[in-house]
């Protein structure tokens, strides 16, 4: 119970400081955002919070939020944590936040992450 309360507080407090900017609509209708207020740059590495509002529910989830690290030098990405939500407004957890980083992978050309990397790495 304490863990759920802590996660809720972190999500609420981080959302109040956020400046979510829509930057892409995928071909399937999913809308993609990033938090302009919490971009962290450290050399070639950029950490950024992203969100997706699914057009249609994906296995019971209607939205998604992740902490993404983009390596501008190698054009690669690592998802550091992610959370699926059952509503379209990122308030009702569909499952616990996954805080295990995923393996680093190359950013696909013409992907929404490539669009984000182009914006953030060229600033």
* pLDDT value for 122: 83
Q: What is the CATH number of domain 2-121?
A: 2.40.128.710
- At residue 17 the predicted structure's pLDDT band, cuts being 50, 70 and 90, is confident
Can you give the pTM of this predicted structure? 0.83
Mean pLDDT, residues 87-112 taken together: 95
- At residue 16 the predicted structure's pLDDT band, cuts being 50, 70 and 90, is low
Q: What would the pLDDT profile of 28-72 be if each residue is shown by its tens digit? A: 999 999 999 999 999 999 999 999 999 998 888 999 999 999 999
Burial 46-69 (b: 16+ CB within 10 A, else e): bbbbbbbbbeeeeeebbbbbbbbb
Q: Where are the domains of the chain?
A: 2-121
CA-CA distance, 53 to 79, in Å (whole number)?
17
């Amino acid at each position: 119970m304490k863990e759920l309360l802590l996660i809720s507080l972190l999500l609420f407090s981080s959302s109040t400081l956020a400046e979510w900017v829509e930057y892409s609509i995928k071909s399937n209708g999913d809308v993609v955002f990033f938090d302009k207020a919490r971009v962290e740059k450290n050399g070639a590495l950029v950490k950024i919070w992203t969100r997706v509002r699914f057009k249609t529910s994906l296995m019971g989830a209607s939205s998604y939020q992740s902490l993404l690290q983009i390596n501008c030098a190698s054009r690669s990405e690592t998802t550091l944590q992610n959370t699926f939500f059952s509503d379209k407004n990122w308030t009702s957890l569909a499952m616990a936040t996954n805080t295990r980083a995923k393996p680093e992978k190359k950013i696909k050309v013409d992907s929404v992450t490539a669009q984000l990397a182009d914006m953030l790495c060229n600033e």
